[in-house]
A and B are shown apart, each in its own frame.
Chain A
Amino acid sequence: MGMNSHPSNPPLDPAQTARQQWLAVLAQAPRAALAAHGRRVLADYRFEPLRAPEAGLVMLRARASHSGGRFNLAEATVTRCALRHRPAAAAASVGVGYVLGRDEERAQWVAALDALLQQPTQQALLMREVIAPLQAERARLLAEAHGRVAASRVQFFTLQTEGAPT
């Protein structure tokens, strides 16, 4: 579920890149944090289900090394949801939520926040109040984990990365 664009995909415009980033933040946010933001922000808005939350499987693909062929690693459970928000004075927007696991509420929160984030009048506020704190929290957790792992790091000076350009 990497967010890097595939070389064969068309180039993305800045609005799409921004949306990818906030969707990545929302999809990876811990349940408790998402629930706190979701309940606080979403209570005042109405959403119409376009696709009710549904769980399914996606195939995860992997490579054995930089040069190895792709193979199917395993299937992962994913829950998805699509919600439409119709503000009184602006165009409707549809938010989508894809999260790992079968937590339907999380997929709904992601979809609802995505729909609101696409509304120009809401975007700046939500980026500041929801996305930035979630992103900071994730960065803190990642840094903590990296710190723990770095203590036991071993440098293989004599080995070259397989398939790396020479």
Chain B
Amino acid sequence: MSALLDAVELAELAPAFAEPVHDAQAVFRLLLEAMSRPGRVQSLPAPCRDTLGHPTGLAPALAATLLTLLDADTRLWVAPALDTPALRAWARFHCGVQWVQQPEQADFALLAAHEAQPELLQRLCEGSDAAPQDSATALIALPDVTPGAGPLRWRGPGIEHEHRLTLPGLSDAFWAWRREQPQRFPCGLDFFFAAGERVVALPRSTRVEVD
């Protein structure tokens, strides 16, 4: 992509947070809450949800996550299903993020549910034993996120007993691959799943069983 946005792209660009400082703080708190309580579904707070601008085709929860976590020092890779000129222009203008061509280079990867396949996820950086914090974070767009029931049983730090969830759109291959991941601790990927205004986190320390 060219370094400059042209005037036409800019003229049709979606806005971002209406209150950049307060909204980013509120969403950061929400993402922190989601990561520290895996499997609990979080919703965007009302003032931010109602005023947030986002590109067509990107869920508000994902847009808010990108705006909060990305800046000029982070590298974003977007899988083909979500990669549009409108998203590129928007992320570049509002986040100033570096766009990378290969998943291996990314700090954050944005994918659609059907793209979250083991072959692809294995290419993302899982960190090293010396620097596990260098791992990538995967942001996955789902058609829906439903708490309270379903075949997934989540256990681990931050969960008292277990959480049950329905995350439609993710393949069996994904969950089979994810079952093996805790063995790689402290390395591993962290996930945010988002649909509409809702987001749920799956950190590397959580174990997921499928009934």
> Which residues does A use to contact B, with CB under 8 Å?
48-52, 54, 82, 84, 91-94, 118
Contact = CB atoms under 8 A, between A and B. Distances in A.
A82 B93 CA distance: 10
B10 A94 contact: yes
A52 B7 contact: no
A93 B10 CA distance: 8
B12 interface: yes
Contact of B7 (A49, A50, A82, A94): A94
Interface string B60-89: 000000000000000000000000000000
Contact of B15 (A48, A54, A91, A93): A48
A93 B11 contact: yes
Q: Binding site of A, secondary structure by majority: helix, strand, loop or mixed?
A: strand
B13 A50 contact: yes
B11 A54 contact: no
Contacts of A49: 15
Contact of A93 (B7, B16, B20, B93): B7
A50 B15 contact: yes
Contact of A84 (B11, B16, B20, B94): B11
A21 B1 CA distance: 27
Contacts of A52: 20
20 contacts: A50-B10, A50-B13, A50-B15, A50-B93, A51-B16, A51-B93, A51-B94, A52-B20, A54-B20, A82-B10, A82-B93, A84-B11, A91-B11, A92-B11, A92-B12, A93-B7, A93-B11, A94-B7, A94-B11, A94-B13
Q: Binding site of B, secondary structure by majority: helix, strand, loop or mixed?
A: helix
Interface in B11-50: 11-13, 15-16, 20
A52 B11 CA distance: 16
A91 to B, nearest CB: 6
A121 to B, nearest CB: 16
A75 to B, nearest CB: 15
Interface string B90-131: 000110000000000000000000000000000000000000
Contacts of A93: 7, 11
Contacts of B10: 50, 82, 94
Contacts of A82: 10, 93
Nearest to A48: B15
Contacts of A91: 11
Give 4 nearest A-B pairs by CB, closest first.
A92-B11, A94-B10, A94-B11, A50-B15
A130 to B, nearest CB: 20
B19 to A, nearest CB: 8
